[in-house]
Structure 1
């Protein structure tokens, strides 16, 4: 672990102590006070970050607050998202597969029905045939708050957070915004009102945290015994590449050796940490040689990566503010805090990034990205990126921190059992005592697709998923059962091939064993086909045809 822990964060680590479930230490020195049976729940999500970007997963970015949460909590090495921003949010919020929620592909952008295909699984907004985490936890007595990126529908007000169970909301409704000057139609919404930002020192990551802290304080007003649920969905480090100068300055000289050097350094650290095993391979480099670029282009790419890292650094600083606030309020011990990311690193913008270089380090610009070459480093040691269903597209860091239920002997433990987004709903339902309904507001609700992670959190090892779990996005397909993963990259109609990997031996998916085990391929492919029929997944060429007709 990198020795990057600040004084305040180190103090937090020293202060952490095991709580029985009913009692906690009163840090004012005035003895013991009772805690509520139900924990507060905080769900933090980063956006477009690579698997190995944060320090506790092998990265060189300064993330002491996340690192310490992992040291005093649990790290999952095989947790999965859906490979894209809004399908992940749909699955996370409902405990279902995204196709069941109407977001089988994407959410409609502002002032457009571009992703509404008129098909049940492809409407471009969160349908009503589900119950959100906020709606479920509200029924269990929780106060519910959200700060950050919604991205589950915005054209009609009944699609907004307050209409889907949240008591308060501050953030953006679409998928991205300018960090310094968010403006309509990608501007800030507070509760159900559009807000104009005039503060010259505004930075969206800071603002999300400011309002999250305000919501926590509001939750203590009146009935302090009521637990709260906070969903804090940062946009960092999603494009546009924008960060405060003081944070960029930390990384200006860090990336001059290029992406290959970063990948190799991370790979060795990940093995030392136990995030990957000694037998795992570093996937083939998916980028040009650094030395092949001109001096000017290398300087530009160094800056693009520095800004990206600064965005993560700033997010970590804000997570530190949040944890300090919980500690100072006496809330940390019985707060279940979960951190994860929405998809793999983003290769959008081409090999060397998108957007004009002259817009870097300004408040101008919307699409500014760092490109595939750096995304390949962010996803060390895996293949592929956001959009795809190989490990680089769907593997996410997952940190779980809950001092009241994690004994000293469990802290810092690495969990190697695999899980996926719907498990969050099942976990929160169990810890809150919420009863998941069959019908909600006159709509039939499908059963939860996930399994509770509580046994793993409480130190009881064992495979959570005995049944297969599935993915589909833009024609890319995957199914995992036990150690085996069947995956297909969409390459056009009738050009596709199922690949089979034993992830226990080949986590980086370097050795396709489909020809060696055709029986297993056929069996798992049949499972995927049955699942796709049940969830109303459409052939991707059909969706493409509809999209082309809508243009």
Structure 2
């Protein structure tokens, strides 16, 4: 494990670094950014010599680590009890964002992250079409990445970066033109489709290397193998030349089926017998202590029954499914430790920017009480995605202190932990601090353009994000003064400044002042009716321009079921 390994974010040892911004500022855009960084360095008390030196180094390597279905409060540095010392250490020696937004679901998040656009703009307004089941039309809901966008890999490859990916793609299955190698990546190893079995992926959810299906190797465990292949890819790129690399490491964990290793499962077995109420209370208290929440912030009301009303047998099974989930998160942290150790040993850590985040909030799919038990962890079914799921009640606790979960765009569905770590670029005086300015997935494209000196074509839809470099440099001014929009399955939101308008499908719009109400408990629709009406109009204009099926929602699964019913009736 790398030396930052620590039980607590506040007790991690900090390696001393002279803050430098090792970026190749070749364009006018980057010249402006370089001046901004010099200003920030000087404001933070660093001399002109250090500032000048920071502009002469090599461009940084860039790593984006995306995990799947992890809740806001699962990491230790975000209030959780799950042991995540390696990720916590990244935060202790970097920055934690408290208001970073995803798209509330797997595919739409991946679409926005990799293109800098709304998912509807790139063909994934809902989800990707299942293997062998094309939806039969084109447009915002066609179910695969279209050719009217640029990916991070395409932009960075054109800038001289080696582009590497391991893990979950989930941006289109049947047409190889939208697979990683055809969308800018030099190397790919992982699962093209969505959820997979951690031990033995199979069927149309098997493994792919490059453009070819491959057999599952002996000893395969998705979280471990994806990390090993990522390190192998970096090492291979190093032997070719000294070009910087971009790695997109997209774990399938902790998405269902929760195939925890037995040893990781046993580590947490019995620790959740206090129930979701006790867990929410403990996590909320730690979040306040860490400064993630304003004093007095109350968590959203949990929808579940009182833990004491359940039988001993029910509580024991529920403890087991949550232990499986915690084991999967723990395994991610172990592998982040392996990746960081490799970067440190190969003298690449200092000038590597690492971003860590989740694609949506914890997942309520699996019914109120989840699925599976200890026996299913001990002897998991293979070559299938059947298995353990935590269900709605545990998901609500994992998203403490927020409302809702995956699928929704209330804070519990769309607000993710996001950590940025860059020893050569984030001033040491900023290490361990919180970034309270809001940002979102589309900002990655703008940020990597600034980091790499890359250019974005002007003949396609323009990147909607803003560069996060001012925030990484310690700036405290908002990078967004424009509205940010969401829509998924009719769940919708718009945020502008401190105000957020949000709704569940077929329910009234709600209005919140997030500067005083991060947990969305006090709907101000009645007292701020004019603001509410104005924001509704803004969202409707955006929805029309973006191709949202407004006012009706689009759900791919409902569409496929309707097609099947029609086909049966025609026979």
TM-score by length of 2: 0.89
Counterpart residue number, 1:502: 513
Alignment of 1:271-310 (within 5 A): 271-310=288-327
Counterpart residue number, 2:488: 473
Task: Indicate if the aligned counterparts of 2:226 and 2:251 stay in contact, CA closer than 8 A.
Answer: yes
1:355 and 1:252 map into 2 onto residues whose CA distance is 14
Counterpart residue number, 1:207: 225
Residue 153, structure 1, aligned to residue 172, structure 2: yes
Task: Indicate if the aligned counterparts of 1:347 and 1:375 stay in contact, CA closer than 8 A.
Answer: yes
State the Cα deviation string for residues 17-40 of structure 1 (Å, max 9, x = none). Answer: 2343459xxxxxxxx9x9952100
Q: 1:258 to 1:220 in 2, by over 3 A?
A: same
TM-score by length of 1: 0.92
1:466 and 1:22 map into 2 onto residues whose CA distance is 28
In structure 2, which of residues 198, 207, 210 is the aligned counterpart of residue 191 of structure 1?
A: 210
* Unaligned 5+ runs, structure 2: 24-52, 565-571
Give the secondary-structure state (helix, strand or coil) at the position aligned to 1:500.
Answer: strand
Give the secondary-structure state (helix, strand or coil) at the position aligned to 2:249.
Answer: strand
Q: 1:351 to 1:16 in 2, by over 3 A?
A: farther
Task: Indicate if the aligned counterparts of 2:119 and 2:125 stay in contact, CA closer than 8 A.
Answer: yes
Counterpart residue number, 2:237: 219
In structure 1, which of residues 216, 219, 232 is the aligned counterpart of residue 249 of structure 2?
A: 232
Residue 550, structure 1, aligned to residue 563, structure 2: yes
Alignment of 1:82-231 (within 5 A): 82-113=103-134, 116=135, 118-199=137-218, 201-224=219-242, 226-231=243-248
Counterpart residue number, 1:385: 405
1:353 and 1:86 map into 2 onto residues whose CA distance is 22
Counterpart residue number, 1:28: none
Residue 437, structure 1, aligned to residue 457, structure 2: yes
Task: Indicate if the aligned counterparts of 2:485 and 2:493 stay in contact, CA closer than 8 A.
Answer: yes
Counterpart residue number, 1:316: 333
Counterpart residue number, 1:534: 545
Question: What RMSD, in angstroms, separates the aligned Cα atoms of the two structures?
Answer: 2.2
Alignment of 1:303-452 (within 5 A): 303-355=320-372, 358-364=375-381, 366-367=385-386, 368-439=388-459, 445-452=460-467
State the Cα deviation string for residues 314-368 of structure 1 (Å, max 9, x = none). Answer: 0000001001110111001110100010001100011101357742332305233
State the Cα deviation string for residues 221-248 of structure 1 (Å, max 9, x = none). Answer: 1212x10000000011000011111111
Counterpart residue number, 2:44: none
Task: Indicate if the aligned counterparts of 2:490 and 2:554 stay in contact, CA closer than 8 A.
Answer: no
User: Runs in 1 of length 4+ with deviation above 6 angstroms?
Assistant: 9-12
Alignment of 1:31-70 (within 5 A): 36-70=57-91
1:215 and 1:269 map into 2 onto residues whose CA distance is 38
1:276 and 1:542 map into 2 onto residues whose CA distance is 33
Count of matched residue pairs: 527
Counterpart residue number, 1:75: 96
Q: 1:245 to 1:6 in 2, by over 3 A?
A: farther
Give the secondary-structure state (helix, strand or coil) at the position aligned to 1:59.
Answer: coil
Task: Indicate if the aligned counterparts of 1:150 and 1:172 stay in contact, CA closer than 8 A.
Answer: yes
Counterpart residue number, 1:17: 17
Give the secondary-structure state (helix, strand or coil) at the position aligned to 1:509.
Answer: coil
Give the secondary-structure state (helix, strand or coil) at the position aligned to 1:214.
Answer: helix
Give the secondary-structure state (helix, strand or coil) at the position aligned to 1:472.
Answer: strand
